[in-house]
Amino acid sequence: MSTTNPSPPTALTIAGSDSGGGAGLQADLRTFFAHRVHGMTAVTAVTVQNSVGVQGFTEIAPEVVADQIRSVATDIGVGAAKTGMLASTGIITAVAGVLDEVSIGRDARSPFVVDPVAASMHGDPLLREEALEAIRSELIPRATLVTPNLDEVRLLAGITVTDTDGQREAAKALASMGARYVLVKGGHLRGATDCLDLLYDGTEFTELVGPRYDTEHTHGGGDTLASAITAELARGSTVPDAVAHGKRFIERCVADSYPLGSGIGPVSPLWRVRES
Ligand code: PLP
């Protein structure tokens, strides 16, 4: 029996494995699947992780990370790509080099979303401190979109955000590092009753406001938002449309989150599978 199904859109995540299955490339693949997008992986690190934290991780050799990207890009093709945990300067430099080779990036054929993951929500480091400079100088200038949370804004731009004006200042600082679009996520703003994310295109700001759900089970939330945006870009959406979609998508995933183990459970895209 043969099939003649058309090939679906494709997306690549350049990210770490979360053995607990809540965040990292496991969350990205789940999210791509929920968008009917074929997901591919360039594994950067293998974390030893459960619901209470990250107990350790092993990095993949930089040339093996680059080879994974080259292999899928030259054969299958990459509709859009995103980064998650990148662990080290060596991996970031190798990724930046191969992206140019296979035409993934802000001025290239395929859009590129940089989620500048620095630590888990438990505070466990996922990036060596000295690698922040490589994120600034090698990845952000290649980004179609960069999606920092407020901790990552502080680390990357040295700005402590306490209100929407601070989010605007941070967005401008990251755009000046070379990103085409910047999404400054306000989810970590203390005391806020809603959740305001700010999109900046270098000229104008768009405020995306949504509800704040009363749950602690938000493990993998950042990864899921960035991969929902990446999936929509792979399907051909513009950045503003993909971001607006991602915001609605992650809200449903947070509302659908569940407890797991004795710690923090993950957000979940299962609602979309149920509805389709
Ligand atoms: N583990 C891995 C491998 C990740 O890539 C990430 C985030 O990107 C995390 C853990 C952290 O997720 P969270 O901040 O939701 O705990």
Task: Name the residue with the closest Cα to ligand 1, atom 7.
Answer: 24
pTM (2 d.p.): 0.97
Cα–ligand 1 centroid distance for 6 (angstroms): 33
Where residue 236 falls (left for φ over 0; alpha for ψ -120 to 50; beta otherwise) is left
Cα–ligand 1 centroid distance for 238 (angstroms): 26
24 lines ligand 1 (CB under 6 A): yes
Please calculate the CA angle 175-176-179 and round it to the nearest 5 degrees: 40
pLDDT for position 136: 97
- CATH number for the domain whose boundaries are 10-267: 3.40.1190.20
Which residues of the chain are modeled with pLDDT < 50?
A: none
Structure tokens of 114? 């940089």
Structure tokens of 45? 């690190």
Cα–ligand 1 centroid distance for 156 (angstroms): 18
Question: What distance in Å separates the CA atoms of residue 33 and residue 31, rounded to the nearest whole number?
Answer: 5
Name the 3-class secondary structure at 142. helix
Q: Of the candidates 37, 106, 41, 77, which has an alpha carbon nearest to the alpha carbon of residue 245?
A: 37
226 lines ligand 1 (CB under 6 A): no
250 lines ligand 1 (CB under 6 A): no
Question: pLDDT tens digit string along 154-195?
Answer: 999 999 999 999 999 999 999 999 999 999 999 867 666 788
